[in-house]
């Protein structure tokens, strides 16, 4: 049985080291996922891969059908999800190209379909979300980094912003006051939906840029982000290959 799903973020729309065996189009009660599920072998085991923004990177963060994606992955029978995400670094330790595995999050997103528990309920359900990421999957990512000899920063607070625009410097200052160490646009509601379906889920974040107003830059250039992510995602591919045998 396939145990692990990988959700690819910006810069990771395909896994070059994945030996693809089949693609599966899934229709869910919540609509269409970002694309067909891609099954293949990686590090000797079968995994399922789904690029969050679509195979051609055309779906912006606020338009991703997070419910359909998580439902489709859950429907395959996987128990664990590694969610790869590009972030902006707020904390001085999170320079571009750094890999990090957050252990907390703050949700600033709005108007996204953010729960499976709203219609046809027999009772109102509130999931526990004290620790939003599964420690089992966080440790899997951290151990894979150790084996692959990749530097990684353990822990941090992921601030999920609405996007698709980047933040103002003042917004980043507010997020820093709140305790955020990194900022992204896709971490929520994805993490909460995974918890609702009892999937063990953690994020492997790749710092693509200094967050707005940090690191001495005046503006954030997409061309710089693309260049950094090319290197960062190469590390992620190595990490993932080392993670699978540790399952
Ligand atoms: N802000 C929000 N999301 C991001 C950033 C950022 O600076 N970089 C990569 N994803």
What is the value of pTM for the model shown? 0.97
Beta strand 80-89 pairing with 4-8: parallel
Cβ of 180 below 6 Å from ligand 1? no
Structure tokens at 175: 């997020």
- The pLDDT value recorded for residue 124 is 83
Beta strands in 17-72 (DSSP E): 19-24, 37-42, 45-51
CATH number of the domain encompassing residue 119:
3.40.50.1580
| pLDDT at 57 > cutoff 90 | no
**Residue 240, domain extent:** 4-246
Residues in the chain: 247
Split into its structural domains, the chain has a count of 1
Cβ of 207 below 6 Å from ligand 1? no
Tell the residue nearest (CA) to atom 6 of ligand 1: 88
Cβ of 61 below 6 Å from ligand 1? no
Residue 87 sits at the vertex; the CA angle it makes with 147 and 20, to the nearest 5 degrees, is 55
pLDDT tens sequence across 186-234 = 999 999 999 999 999 999 999 999 999 999 888 999 999 999 999 999 9
Distance 223 CA to ligand 1 centre (A): 13
Structure tokens at 179: 């305790």
Cβ of 172 below 6 Å from ligand 1? no
**Residue 68 zone, left/alpha/beta (φ > 0; ψ -120 to 50; rest):** alpha
């Amino acid at each position: 049985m396939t145990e692990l799903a990988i959700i690819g973020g910006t810069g990771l729309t395909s896994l070059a080291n994945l030996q693809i065996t089949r693609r599966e189009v899934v229709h869910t009660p919540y609509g269409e996922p970002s694309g067909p599920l891609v099954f293949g072998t990686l590090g000797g085991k079968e995994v399922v891969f789904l690029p969050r923004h679509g195979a051609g990177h055309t779906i912006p963060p606020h338009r991703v059908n997070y419910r359909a994606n998580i439902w489709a992955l859950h429907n395959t029978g996987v128990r664990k999800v590694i969610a790869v995400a590009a972030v902006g670094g707020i904390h001085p330790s999170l320079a571009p190209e750094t890999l990090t595995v957050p252990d907390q999050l703050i949700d600033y997103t709005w108007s996204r379909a953010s729960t499976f528990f709203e219609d046809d309920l027999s009772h109102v359900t509130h999931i526990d979300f004290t620790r939003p990421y599964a420690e089992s999957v966080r440790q899997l990512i951290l151990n894979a980094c150790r084996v692959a000899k990749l530097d990684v920063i353990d822990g941090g607070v992921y601030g999920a912003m609405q996007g698709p625009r980047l933040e103002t410097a003042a917004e980043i200052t507010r997020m820093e006051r709140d305790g955020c160490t990194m900022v992204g646009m896709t971490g929520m509601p994805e993490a909460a939906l995974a918890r609702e379906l009892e999937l063990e889920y953690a994020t492997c974040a790749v710092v693509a840029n200094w967050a707005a107003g940090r690191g001495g830059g005046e503006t954030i250039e997409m061309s710089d982000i693309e260049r950094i992510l090319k290197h960062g995602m190469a590390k992620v591919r190595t990490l993932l290959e080392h993670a699978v045998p540790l399952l």
